[in-house]
Chains A and B, each alone.
Chain A
Amino acid sequence: KAGVTQTPRYLIKTRGQQVTLSCSPISGHRSVSWYQQTPGQGLQFLFEYFSETQRNKGNFPGRFSGRQFSNSRSEMNVSTLELGDSALYLCASSHTSGGEETQYFGPGTRLLVL
């Protein structure tokens, strides 16, 4: 099976702009989670979608949002970008949500905000 794919792989934006990142899960996986990875804060959970519904949310401001489509593909949007949003954004997919589940990660989208 193909792994988790994320597009684009690299992005450069300026403060105040907005950005949309895309994630395609492993075929058959219905849960998609998003994480932010920075040198200072490490890996932090953003949110998780399962069957087009947001099931879980981390402690990020409302500028961070997401959605999931009927084919399980997911997008993450960050509005009004700040310098501190520069990070590697990781997407992970799993077959189920809750119980015993294993998340598989994509390569990430590296976002640089200038």
Chain B
Amino acid sequence: AQSVSQHNHHVILSEAASLELGCNYSYGGTVNLFWYVQYPGQHLQLLLKYFSGDPLVKGIKGFEAEFIKSKFSFNLRKPSVQWSDTAEYFCAVGIYNQGGKLIFGQGTELSVKP
């Protein structure tokens, strides 16, 4: 069965620190990859997505992610976090042509200390 693994359950950083959240998935075929963010009290919002092409994708708010096919990974990065980045981050995988179904990782809670 397909699965998505996020390595860190809770990450605590100080402002201006760099961020990297790990995401690995298990599926050998074509996938669509996403990172969603859930700010406290708000709904899931799309940060960035990868379908094909350049494996380095840029999203909103200075986030980027790199797809490494050989490692089945799609890690999220940000060079300098802000207090406002405090949120829960979810990696999700969609299997190409299995419409409408996203498989989510367990989420990583990011706390940024001012």
Q: Which residues of A contact B (CB under 8 A)?
A: 31-33, 35, 42-45, 48-50, 55-56, 58, 90, 92, 94, 96-108
Contacts and interface: CB of A to CB of B under 8 A. Distances in A.
List of 8 A-B pairs having minimum Cβ-Cβ separation, nearest first: A48-B100, A97-B99, A98-B99, A43-B104, A105-B44, A107-B43, A100-B51, A33-B100
Nearest to A41: B106
Nearest to B94: A101
A99 B92 CA distance: 15
Interface in B80-114: 90, 92, 94, 96-107
B96 A98 contact: yes
Given A42-B104, A43-B90, A101-B32, A96 B99 contact: yes
Where chain A touches its partner, the secondary structure class is strand
Interface residues of B, number: 26
Contacts of B100: 31-33, 48-50, 55-56, 94, 97-98, 101, 103
Given A43-B90, A43-B104, A102 B99 contact: no
A100 B44 contact: no
Nearest to A40: B106
A103 B51 contact: no
A31 B99 contact: yes
Interface string B26-43: 000000101010000011
